[in-house]
Structure 1
Amino acid sequence: MSTAPRWTSTHAGSTPTELHQGALLATALEYANRGWHVFPLIPGSKRPATPRHAAADCDHRDPWCRNGHTGWEQRATTNPDRITRAWTTAPYGIGIACGPSGLLVIDTDTPKPGAALPAVELRGEATSGEGVLIALAEDCGEPDGLPETWTVETPSGGVHRYFTTAHLTESLGNSAGRLGPWIDTRGAGGYVVAPPTVTGAGRYLVGLDTQPEPLPAWLVQRLTTRPATPVGPREPRPVTHHSAYLRSVLSKEAQHVREAAEGGRNHALFIAACCLGELVAGGSLTEAEASGVLLDACAGHIAAGAFTEAEAWQTIRSGFRRGAAKPRTAA
């Protein structure tokens, strides 16, 4: 672990803005020294500062994109010279690309006021991501919960727990709701906002300053194995055994959600849930199958702050209810 002091920099000036910019630079360099790949976020935002265009709009004029579109994950770096050049230009927030950094971050959140509480099939009354995670650990035979690891407190009252993945044979991507309500994970293809970044919602703070621990085996199993479909009077076949038509429907609806543009993401999720809700009502899919596909598809939007995991659950449930009015089946 780096012994360099945090929140200090020789580049810092005397004004609050200059001091904050110096702290951002010093901390970005510290993260890089840990081997964590960082990239700049738009000041005051959780969005990447570069590239300034989507992959679909790439004209290859950006020097980074001459040989094909290059996104924030590919631009993330541990190079101190590049980091210094970037953070002396502007008080950029700090994003950490989880995949290249060998990290899996568990993000527990709190429900928004007035939001409906989803049913949690775990022991106890869990009304937040932290509560669900504790109950999940107990159900998995881990009464002591999670090991102490590098932890960040988010402005929304949530918690980011950083775990290393070097011991895994396969990479883990993002997930939304797979571990339970109000719990997301960020891995390959995902990023987290790191301290001391400040957004419109507030400041990200280090909660526990220690070495990140390896991701526990019971969490690896939960993140690599889908829950079994409950047995009922009309037990459908697993998704892998569905017809080509049904697999195509699932793939297309997931694609529509993933590719939804800013401002239309929640609507796209609702429409996709309506479509799959018709098939759920007709017995061709289970809610677990349909919601799993949709939650995975919108994980990137949750990471970008378009909506929370709890809001995504609420939108999917609303779509299922609407779709249930027009049940249909698929061969």
Structure 2
Amino acid sequence: MSTLTRWTSTHAGSTATELHHGALLATALEYANRGWHVFPLIPGSKRPATPRHAATDCDHTDPWCRGGHTGWEQRATTDPDRITRAWTAAPYGVGIACGPSGLLVIDTDTPKPGAALPPVERVGNATSGEGVLIALAEDCGDPDGMPETWTVDTPSGGVHRYYTTAHLAESLGNSAGRLGPWIDTRGNGGYVVAPPTVTDAGRYLVGIDTPPAPLPAWLVQLLTTRPAAPSSVAEPRPVAHRSAYLRAVLTKEAEHVREATEGGRNHGLFAAACCLGELIAGGSLTEADAAATLLDACAGHIAAEAFTEAEAWQTIRSGFRRGATKPRTAA
């Protein structure tokens, strides 16, 4: 597989803006040539340019939605004609839909200014997602550490590592903090912002320009291992009594929702709702308390128009229903 083609122009009258617009189109076409499904992002933003309406507001007049609401993942494409039409119309940023592209992207970040650091036992001496990831590789006994793969440097000082998933029997979705602090993953239902996109935070740049490597087996295991089911079910405690464990679960799930990033917010909310739905079904938590906790946690995402309150409610209810199939009680 060839490395990423760099776009250039010999037109003497090209301005910096025109050059960047041309680079976005040419690079989107190059990603499509790799088999990566791309879609346009609002210029200067990380948000998808289409659809321009939420699922709850869909009136099916959009040609893409005549058979039902169609989101950015379904609209992502490798069709060069569609890509050319889209990026000729405006200098859109480039988003890559990870699931359809057969990719799992590991997103390592740096601590936000003023944010509380996680417990020492979770990070050791690491002070960033990169440090945590390296420590994970060592702990899992991988003699080669993190294999070289295609990487992107993000404006926040983080790194996106692209890995292929064609060799996996089971598809992988998104995760937030599952591998450790400051580490998220993007798979089915998630996307990443790709170079040479520029947002208000800065420019996304290619870090290592080499074909993506297969996702290492030890990472697959960490991302697919499920906690063991309890051997017995204890009598439910009264809902009015919140144990330290229950308070910790509510705090942790709310934190996961608040810290979910672009492309993984809805999945993070759903995963948190599933977790709390198990406790609701087990009698340790009321649905009203769980819903209030989750809605408060995603208030920032609603304000940023990542989704509407109605969409958040729909995701929460779906998570509660899924969680109810595995009832458990708070210790």
TM-score (ref. length: structure 1):
0.73
The aligned counterpart of 1:128 is 128
Q: Does structure 2 conserve the Cα–Cα contact (< 8 Å) formed by 1:107 and 1:185?
A: yes
Percent identity, aligned pairs only, is 76
Where do 5+ consecutive residues of structure 1 fail to align? 230-236, 247-274, 314-318, 324-328
State the 1:226 CA deviation.
3.8
State the 1:6 CA deviation.
1.5
Q: For residue 135 of structure 1, give the secondary structure of its aligned residue in structure 2.
A: helix
Q: Would the alpha carbon gap of residues 13 and 179 (structure 1) be closer, same or farther in structure 2, given more than 3 Å must change?
A: farther
Q: Would the alpha carbon gap of residues 174 and 305 (structure 1) be closer, same or farther in structure 2, given more than 3 Å must change?
A: closer
Q: What amino acid maps onto 2:45 in structure 1?
A: S
The aligned counterpart of 1:281 is 243
Q: Would the alpha carbon gap of residues 60 and 143 (structure 1) be closer, same or farther in structure 2, given more than 3 Å must change?
A: same
Q: How far apart, CA to CA, are the structure 2 residues paired with 1:13 and 1:189?
A: 41
Q: Does structure 1 conserve the Cα–Cα contact (< 8 Å) formed by 2:93 and 2:198?
A: yes
* 1:160-216: CA deviation from partner (whole Å, max 9, x where unpaired): 000000000111000000000000000000000000000000000000000100000
The aligned counterpart of 2:88 is 88
The aligned counterpart of 2:76 is 76
Quick one: which of 216, 230, 252 aligns to 1:291?
Answer: 252
* Residues 94-105 of structure 1 aligned to structure 2 (within 5 Å): 94-105=94-105
State the 1:84 CA deviation.
0.3
The aligned counterpart of 1:173 is 173
Q: How far apart, CA to CA, are the structure 2 residues paired with 1:12 and 1:47?
A: 33
Q: How far apart, CA to CA, are the structure 2 residues paired with 1:286 and 1:99?
A: 34
Q: Does structure 1 conserve the Cα–Cα contact (< 8 Å) formed by 2:99 and 2:188?
A: yes
Q: Would the alpha carbon gap of residues 292 and 102 (structure 1) be closer, same or farther in structure 2, given more than 3 Å must change?
A: farther
The aligned counterpart of 1:148 is 148
* 1:57-93: CA deviation from partner (whole Å, max 9, x where unpaired): 1100000000000000000000000000000100000
Q: How many residue pairs end up in the alignment?
A: 274
The aligned counterpart of 1:31 is 31
TM-score (ref. length: structure 2):
0.73
Q: Would the alpha carbon gap of residues 143 and 119 (structure 1) be closer, same or farther in structure 2, given more than 3 Å must change?
A: farther
Quick one: which of 294, 298, 303 aligns to 2:262?
Answer: 303
Where do 5+ consecutive residues of structure 2 fail to align? 273-288, 294-328
State the 1:5 CA deviation.
2.8
Give the alignment's Cα RMSD to 1 decimal: 3.7
* 1:96-118: CA deviation from partner (whole Å, max 9, x where unpaired): 00000000000000001221110
Q: How far apart, CA to CA, are the structure 2 residues paired with 1:162 and 1:61?
A: 36
Q: What amino acid maps onto 2:150 in structure 1?
A: W
State the 1:227 CA deviation.
5.4
